[in-house]
Amino acid sequence: MFDLKFIRENFDLIQKAVEQKREKVDLSQFRPLDEERRKLLAEVEQLKAYRNRVSQEIAELKKQKQPADDKIAEMREIGAKIKAMDERVKEIEGQLYDIQIRIPNIPHPSVPVGTSEEDNVEIKRWGEIPTFDFEPKPHWELGENLKLIDFAGGAKVAGSFFVNFTGLGAKLVRALINFMLDLHIEKHGYTEVFPPFLVNRQTMFGTGQLPKLEDDMYHVEREDFFLIPTAEVPVTNLLANQVLRGEDLPIYYTAYTPCFRREAGAYGKDTKGLMRLHQFDKVEMVKFVLPETSYDEHESLLQNAEEVLQLLELPYRVLNLCTADLSFAAAKCYDIEVWAPGVNKWLEVSSCSNFEDFQARRANIRFRRKQGEKLEYVHTLNASGLALPRTIIAILENYQTDEGTVVVPKALRKYLGVDILK
């Protein structure tokens, strides 16, 4: 979230960001409200100074036992005027705040300008697209035939877009989670955390989900809690309202959590099988870094996520998202998409985002380079490392055989305990 001074001095840049990200925020009232507020504050300051001066005169007149009724009456009027102006300032600040919290982050200059996801730019590919001498099956057929996924059971106990993994399917989920966490902890240097799956409203605001995405979230009205849409939310806010030491940065956290999303309006698009779920598992990576290192950290974060797919030997591509496809809070984002031959599509398994200081301002996460130096906001980054449902889709569909079995990727065999799913 940007402060009033920044918005005032960079209004054209802010307006451009709103347009490029296709955000629905009306900036037309910002300048008149901001000018009125500043004018009122100056007038109130002058009136309060005048009141203080006259109050001293009144005290001196009373001390000398001279009449001060006229000045006292004037001060009552001044006091009422100050109160009314203070109330108007408070009202204006509420209106300005409502504008502030809806202004998106500004895209980094390296983000391609575009009007839809069609303008995302592919920057690399890894791995070979597999070829089959048979018609590859989609994951929902493989999952049900091998008794790995119980779609009917998930729908029975919860409803549409919920699934139940069973037998080796359930163990595959657990194996992937452990494999990813071990990689990020032991090789990439992250500290594992296991955060709450319910968070308060301020926590959702801190990472930028609120107010924009409230309709997409599962809300527990009685306590005003939200089920987390991603581990990014609680993990980033673990350091909310803290002042960190510069020498302690960077800080890397990784976490497994289930994720919950209503995804209002998403129905009818890639919804079959595991393609789109209201509850799914994900391993997340979160970084808190010095501002001058954040884009180098962004590239290394991308590599950390890519290595999961490389070790699983799954073909993927990386996209630099255009302005129109960039999230509300991100300054830049790479999407990693894995190839799924059964559905014949590239499927997103990770979004790797740099938020610069946008989230840190909302969550009040600051650092001091050295004792006595000014406070600065950290830069925050996160990436899925990875989201499980579509990773499972890719494993089942890329590693299937003409016998209807699925070969287990070598990297998972010690976690799963078998070489073939049959």
Dist CA 283 CA 354 (whole Å): 17
Question: Cβ distance 75 to 52 under 8 Å?
Answer: no
DSSP state of 350: E
Q: How far is CA 78 from CA 40, 45, 89, in A?
A: 14, 12, 16
Q: Which of 348, 368, 369, 413 is catalytic?
A: 348
Contact 378, 363 (CB under 8 A): no
Please report which residue ranges of 21-100 form alpha helices under DSSP H: 30-63, 69-100
Q: Is 82 helix (H, G, I), strand (E, B) or coil?
A: helix
Spot the catalytic one: 37, 276, 361, 362: 276
The sign one gets for the Cα dihedral 155, 161, 167, 171 is: negative
In the block, tokens 């985002």 appear at 353
Catalytic residue among 37, 361, 362, 390: 390
Element (H, E) at 214: none
Tell whether omega for the bond before 146 is within 30 degrees of 0, i.e. cis. no
* Catalytic status, residue 350: no
Active site residue 348: yes
* CA–CA gap between residue 5 and residue 21 (Å, rounded): 22
How many H-runs (helices) and E-runs (strands) does the chain carry? Answer: 13, 18
* Catalytic residue, candidates 327, 351, 353, 384: 351
Q: What pairing do the DSSP bridges indicate for beta strands 279-289 and 379-387?
A: antiparallel
Active site includes 390? yes
The catalytically annotated residue of 261, 361, 362, 366 is 261
Instruction: Say how far apart CA 412 and CA 312 lie, in whole Å.
Output: 8
Q: Write the DSSP string, 11-37.
A: HHHHHHHHHHTT-----TTHHHHHHHH
Nearest to 316, CA basis, from 283, 285, 349: 349
Catalytic residues: 261, 276, 348, 351, 390
